[in-house]
Amino acid sequence: MVLTSPLTAPLLFVEKVGIGSVFILCCCVGISLTIKPNWIRRYFLKNKGKEKHMRPSTERSFKGHHPECSPFKNHTIQWMGMTLCAGCLGLSIGLCASIVGMILYILTDIQLTKTTSLFLVLLGLFSLLVVYGENFYQGKSAMVHVGVNSLLPLSFLFIMISVVRITGTVMYGLFSILLCFLWLDTRIQLSKWHHRRLCLHCSEPCKMFTGPA
């Protein structure tokens, strides 16, 4: 769609505010989930009286959204005496940067050429591949994990802005936001797969992530 569409007139200011507000709202929800993962699912399960324990009875203490054991030491980072999840920290940094970028997009009158827009789409897609591929890299450090995960929300920003610039249609922008949710879910599923793989190859008996997917 992006490759074949001719470059159209930029969105009106009110259209930019509308699509930008949706994007920023999604980013704010994402930031809340990096602070308290699964709070939305827990909220609805609690209201339906179906809240279940999400960890097995052989529970190991958790810090930074991960069990305190050696296989996950590179998944957390120490900051001011706190243990933070490196992946969630990276996502929150990227989400905050994306909010700033979207505000600048709304308030400024930057005219992107089609070549620049296509470059941003390709850059966003390449960033997605980097984020996904990092799950298969065994020797990653916590800081690398933070940096790579911060790219994910920025890739969403680049793709969404480029799509609406080329097509000139708010609906295509909303469709690209929907795709971003699917890409984010892919990242979550890859992370769960990586956690299960670490547990399976660990000699400890707790096996925190090897239950049903």
Measure the CA–CA gap between 30 and 140, rounded to whole angstroms: 24
| Domain annotation covers residue 56 | no
Nearest to 66 by CA among 55, 81, 51, 79: 55
Measure the CA–CA gap between 132 and 74, rounded to whole angstroms: 17
DSSP string, 114-128: HHHHHHHHHHHHHHH
pLDDT of residue 213: 39
| Domain annotation covers residue 116 | yes
pLDDT of residue 69: 73
Total domains in the chain come to: 1
| Domain annotation covers residue 179 | yes
| Domain annotation covers residue 213 | no
Q: Name the pairing type of β-strands 76-79 and 66-67.
A: unpaired
Q: Name the pairing type of β-strands 66-67 and 82-85.
A: unpaired
Measure the CA–CA gap between 86 and 192, rounded to whole angstroms: 15
pLDDT tens digits along 94-108: 999 999 999 999 998
pLDDT of residue 91: 92
Q: Write phi, then psi, for 137 (nearest 5 degrees).
A: -90, 120
CB 106 within 8 A of CB 166: no
Its domain, for residue 170, covers: 13-40+63-193
CB 24 within 8 A of CB 97: no
| Domain annotation covers residue 186 | yes
Residue 91 CB burial class (10 angstroms; 0-12, 13-18, ≥19): buried
pLDDT tens digits along 129-185: 999 988 777 666 888 888 999 999 999 999 999 999 888 888 999 999 999 999 988
| Domain annotation covers residue 49 | no
Measure the CA–CA gap between 65 and 49, rounded to whole angstroms: 24
pLDDT of residue 27: 94
Q: Write phi, then psi, for 63 (nearest 5 degrees).
A: -145, 135
pLDDT tens digits along 55-101: 444 566 666 667 777 667 777 787 777 778 888 889 999 999 999 99
Q: Which residues pair with 76 in a beta bridge?
A: 85
| Domain annotation covers residue 108 | yes
pLDDT of residue 43: 59
| Domain annotation covers residue 150 | yes
Residues 57, 198, 194, 90, CA torsion sign = positive
